[in-house]
Chains A and B, each alone.
Chain A
Amino acid sequence: MSSASSGAREQGRSELGVALFLGGLGVLVIVQALLLEESLIARGPVGPRTVPLVVGGLLVVVAAFLAVDVLRGGRGEPEGGEDVDLTGRSDWRTIAMLVAAFVANALLIEPLGWPVSGAILFWGSAFALGSRHPVRDLVIAVVLSVGTWYLFVLVLGIALPVGVLEGIL
């Protein structure tokens, strides 16, 4: 009981962070807009700056309203779903492993090629999400990445990097 209410209070404080993020982004958009040179071809009050200024202003105003709403007890409701269990805390370890697999793919896709980096991405993500069948996962990952490579390159005519497997595939 008490842990639930302290959880709600914790969300209240962190939700103020969302307002802060929106406000900060708004200020950034406004400053960037003011740094633009006024265009010579624009007529009247609307140039390249105007819309960014309005959007930045909207962000700042919304941030203020959101902060007021949170302070008055309004709460954003976390999104539910069939696979989502909202009773526990966020599982940051899983997230960190997923992000690592994702970034590995982004960094390796050009040097090693999609058939290798895509397999790393799938295998790493499945491992992060709790699959403990390393060999089966590896087979699925390789079949998926090589299969999609052939699908894109041969059937769809979209180039994907082949990397170290050049000449083999």
Chain B
Amino acid sequence: MGAFSELANGFATALTPENLMFALLGVLLGTAIGVLPGIGPAMTVALLLPLTRSLDATTALIMFAGIYYGGMYGGSTTSILLNTPGESASVVTALEGNKMARAGRAAQALATAAIGSFVAGSIATLLLALVAPTVANLAVEVGQPDYFAVMVLAFIAVTSVLGSSRVRGLASLALGLTIGLVGIDATSGQQRLTFGIPELADGIDVVVVAVGLFAVGEALWTAAHLRRRPVDVIPVGNPRMNRSDWRRSWKPWLRGTAIGFPFGAVPAGGAEIPTFLSYVTEKRLSKHPEEFGHGAIEGVAGPEATNNASAAGGMVPLLTLGIPTTATAAVLLAAITSFGIEPGPQLFDNEPELVWGLIASLFIGNAALLLLNLPLAPVWAKLLRIPRSYLYAGILFFASLGAYAANASPFDLLLLLVIGALGFLMRRYGLPVLPAIIGVILGPFAEERLRTALQISNGELSGLITPFSTMVYAIVVLVLLWPLVRRLLPRKATVPVLADAVHEIEEAHSHSGTTDAVSVEARARKGAEKPNGSDGS
């Protein structure tokens, strides 16, 4: 009841002609930028962040809702037509989607992705509207020590993504935390890591870090290894689906929503695990399992729905706790704070117009996506043919423009280059970028929570221990020690679907090379599993 009247108010905010225009503009820009190869949703949001500087906060966030969904859909289009997942969440889409496209069914793959995203996004946004106020109410009760514990969990969770190397994840997190330390300490007023450079006293602007790590790092890395041959883009007509496609798609859409939303909503989720879970589930339940690996429509419908549902689910921790679970959500959080708005459970009470306007525009962005993107698909496909020299020159051009516009300081441009060089190194040595960006954005918040908690307890470390935080720390320890714990568990205790998903993730990574790293640990685990597997058979 409360949620629905608030949501109605939200629609009243979002449907003013001006806000509606910005939502549609966001979807168009988001898709257009997101569809460009090499540009994932997070980079799209980071590059477009400066455009919203002069808007008021509500309008800006409404535009971001459009950019967010548009960027994600653009990423799926690239995956299907070029076999180039822009981020880990669309790796699975590329598995079956690109096979479908090669078999001449690109239009159907794009259609099931678009309609599935719409269905999943709408249901998941409705769930968000219902769940988020309750979570926010609960979260208001949560104390500073609990907050700090949840942030520690978020740090550890992003570094322990399945299939990648933990050491390299932690290294990336530590780099991000270090960048977040630069500047004047808010509590004591002392300068930390500024080396007497006045431009560093206010800290490093998050826009500069995000654009540097994503856009400049990616452009430099790709430039160093540019594939100099014509790009092979599959031509596409207007997306459409026949009766059998619909029959095979609607259940995966719904199942994908059910898998994606809860995973997105947990402050340790991300979209990679649920999309793989969805893929494996569809493969098991399909009446045509033999088509998997050769372009099964269920393998596009399920994961795409999951991806969108988990994106909406990810808004739950973002809006209620101020904790991002994906790179894109982290950049959104940076956008929220850049307007001087304090994220956290008070957001629903302090800024109801903003929050509900944002939720309503998630619905609008979703609908706009469907209306715009089905007819525009052939246009987007043409964008994939843009000459690579112009594409990456353009990325550097707009990255510089955005970073300069943020503070009108040439110093920021040099900083951008340094951080871009760091992004280059991270790509070269398989350090994932996500933990760094989470560290930069969440690190200062976590420190503030820690110190407030200790001031309340008058400096006693026991002030950090509450029943809730103890539970969270137990989960943190479990995640950290998971490789050991898993060895102690009896074989039967691991859920078979989950084990399959892990296997698929490792397979996909070794093919596409999207991730991150193979470490000794992962190899040892594979080796250890083999005898077990043969025991079972």
Q: A residues touching B (Cβ–Cβ < 8 Å)? A: 15, 18, 21-22, 25-26, 29, 32-33, 36-37, 39, 41-48, 51-52, 55-56, 58-59, 62-63, 65-66, 69, 72-86, 88, 90-92, 94-95, 98-99, 101-103, 105-107, 109-110, 114, 118, 121-122, 125-126, 128-131, 140, 144-145, 148, 152, 156-160
Contact = CB atoms under 8 A, between A and B. Distances in A.
A33 B37 CA distance: 42
Contacts of A33: 192
Interface string B200-220: 000000000000000010011
B192 A69 contact: no
A122 B397 contact: yes
Interface string B387-431: 111101110111011001100101001100100000001011111
Interface in B153-169: 165, 167-168
Given A77-B517, A90-B225, A47 B410 contact: no
B137 interface: no
Contact of B520 (A45, A63, A74, A128): A74
Contact of A128 (B223, B398, B430, B447): B223
B449 to A, nearest CB: 11
B459 A45 contact: yes
Interface in B409-467: 410, 413-414, 417, 425, 427-431, 443, 447, 450-451, 454-455, 457-461
B178 A59 contact: yes
Contacts of A42: 187-188, 451
Given A76-B168, A125-B396, A84 B222 contact: yes
Contact of A43 (B54, B450, B455, B515): B455
Given A82-B84, A85-B226, A98-B219, 18 more contacts: A18-B429, A29-B181, A36-B192, A39-B188, A45-B461, A48-B187, A48-B192, A74-B520, A76-B431, A90-B224, A98-B220, A99-B417, A102-B396, A114-B401, A156-B53, A156-B54, A158-B54, A158-B405
Contacts of A72: 520
A94 B459 CA distance: 54
Chain B contact surface mostly: helix
A99 B408 CA distance: 20
B458 A43 contact: yes
Contact of B400 (A15, A51, A74, A105): A105
Contact of B38 (A56, A81, A157): A81
B227 A131 contact: no
A43 B454 contact: yes
A75 B224 contact: no
B515 to A, nearest CB: 7
Nearest to A160: B405
Contacts of A156: 51, 53-54
A18 B512 CA distance: 24
B296 interface: no
Nearest to A124: B393
B170 A62 contact: yes
A106 B38 CA distance: 24
**Which of B174, B219, B459 gathers the greatest number of chain A CB atoms within 10 Å?**
B174
B221 interface: yes
Chain A contact surface mostly: helix
Contacts of A98: 219-220, 223, 396
B393 A125 contact: yes
B187 A39 contact: yes
A59 to B, nearest CB: 5
Contacts of B523: 73-74
Listed from nearest, the 4 A-B pairs whose CB atoms lie closest are A44-B459, A76-B430, A80-B513, A82-B84
B302 interface: no
B400 A121 contact: yes
A156 B22 CA distance: 13
A131 B391 CA distance: 11
Nearest to A125: B393
21 contacts: A22-B175, A29-B178, A44-B457, A45-B454, A56-B178, A62-B167, A66-B171, A69-B167, A73-B520, A78-B430, A81-B38, A82-B78, A106-B413, A107-B410, A114-B401, A125-B389, A130-B389, A145-B397, A152-B401, A156-B54, A159-B408
Contacts of B389: 125-126, 129-131
B84 A95 contact: no
Contacts of B431: 18, 76
Contacts of A159: 408
A75 B392 CA distance: 28
B6 interface: no
B115 interface: no
B522 to A, nearest CB: 8
B167 A77 contact: no
Nearest to B192: A52
A65 B400 contact: no
B188 A129 contact: no
Given A76-B431, A102-B396, A52 B193 contact: yes
A103 B224 contact: no
B72 interface: no
Contacts of A109: 404, 410, 413
